[in-house]
Chains A and B, each alone.
Chain A
Amino acid sequence: SQQGEEDPQALSIQEGENATMNCSYKTSINNLQWYRQNSGRGLVHLILIRSNEREKHSGRLRVTLDTSKKSSSLLITASRAADTASYFCATDASDSNYQLIWGAGTKLIIKP
């Protein structure tokens, strides 16, 4: 079953613009993680935010978490062509036994 829902399903922007993707989930969580997947490849971990954190930065990435609304956002600043990929949020629920529940992803296209 999929807990997370990403929004939008697809996003196309010009290189240099900022890209924002959102994720909503349903149950209490220990942490929320964002992953990137280039076409036809495995997933790469980007950033993890714990349930007691509200914002986290890593390079050009900024993640926010609002546990009252059960939502998170991923902001990529100054986008590059290499950022073209699908982005997934995954939640580690409080009773998950080390499992992640995945959303369907946002497909991001950066136009040169």
Chain B
Amino acid sequence: EAEVAQSPRYKITEKSQAVAFWCDPISGHATLYWYRQILGQGPELLVQFQDESVVDDSQLPKDRFSAERLKGVDSTLKIQPAELGDSAMYLCASSQAGNSREQYFGPGTRLTVT
């Protein structure tokens, strides 16, 4: 069964350092989402792509976060510089176009900023 791939699974970094996360969605899924999830809370959307275009990045802290999906397939989320408050789970999800809008999630990257 096709899955969303994410790497790394875990990342520990010091504050002020740069960090990057990678996501490869299910083949053929045009829509890709990056979420941040703090322990005990639901996912919070950071950015949504349709193919290579950003549909919504209104919740992305653009002074330090950036995201790209250059060829409309895999995607990278970057944080520079990382802050203590960025410690969280970063989840990538993808979905097909169409009415169901069911999202398929990767295993996530657990980020700890020290």
Tell me if B91 and A99 are in contact (CB < 8 A). no
The docked-state distance in angstroms from the alpha carbon of A48 to that of B104 is 13
How close is A41's CB to chain B, nearest CB, in angstroms?
6
Tell me if A98 and B31 are in contact (CB < 8 A). yes
Q: Which of B84-114 contact A (CB under 8 A)?
A: 89, 91, 93, 95, 99-108, 110
Query: What residues on A are CB-neighbors of B91 within 8 Å?
Result: 42-43
A98 in complex: contacting residue of B41, B95, B106, CB < 8 Å: B95
Tell me if A98 and B108 are in contact (CB < 8 A). no
| Interface size classification for chain B | 20 to 34
| Residue in B43, B44, B93, B105 with the greatest tally of chain A CB atoms within 10 Å | B43
Query: What residues on B are CB-neighbors of A4 within 8 Å?
Result: 42
Judged by a CB distance under 8 angstroms, whether A88 is at the interface is yes
The docked-state distance in angstroms from the alpha carbon of A97 to that of B48 is 10
The docked-state distance in angstroms from the alpha carbon of A105 to that of B44 is 13
State whether A100 and B103 are in contact (beta carbons under 8 Å apart), knowing that A2-B42, A88-B42 are contacts in the complex. Answer: yes
How close is A32's CB to chain B, nearest CB, in angstroms?
11
Q: Which of A1-47 contact B (CB under 8 A)?
A: 2, 4, 30-31, 33, 35, 40-45
State whether A102 and B56 are in contact (beta carbons under 8 Å apart), knowing that A31-B101, A41-B107 are contacts in the complex. Answer: no
Judged by a CB distance under 8 angstroms, whether B45 is at the interface is yes
Judged by a CB distance under 8 angstroms, whether B61 is at the interface is no
B102 in complex: contacting residue of A41, A45, A88, A97, CB < 8 Å: A45
State whether A97 and B56 are in contact (beta carbons under 8 Å apart), knowing that A88-B42, A102-B42, A105-B42 are contacts in the complex. Answer: yes
7 additional A-B pairs beyond A2-B42, A98-B101, A99-B45, beta carbons within 8 Å, are: A2-B41, A2-B44, A40-B89, A40-B110, A45-B103, A97-B48, A98-B55
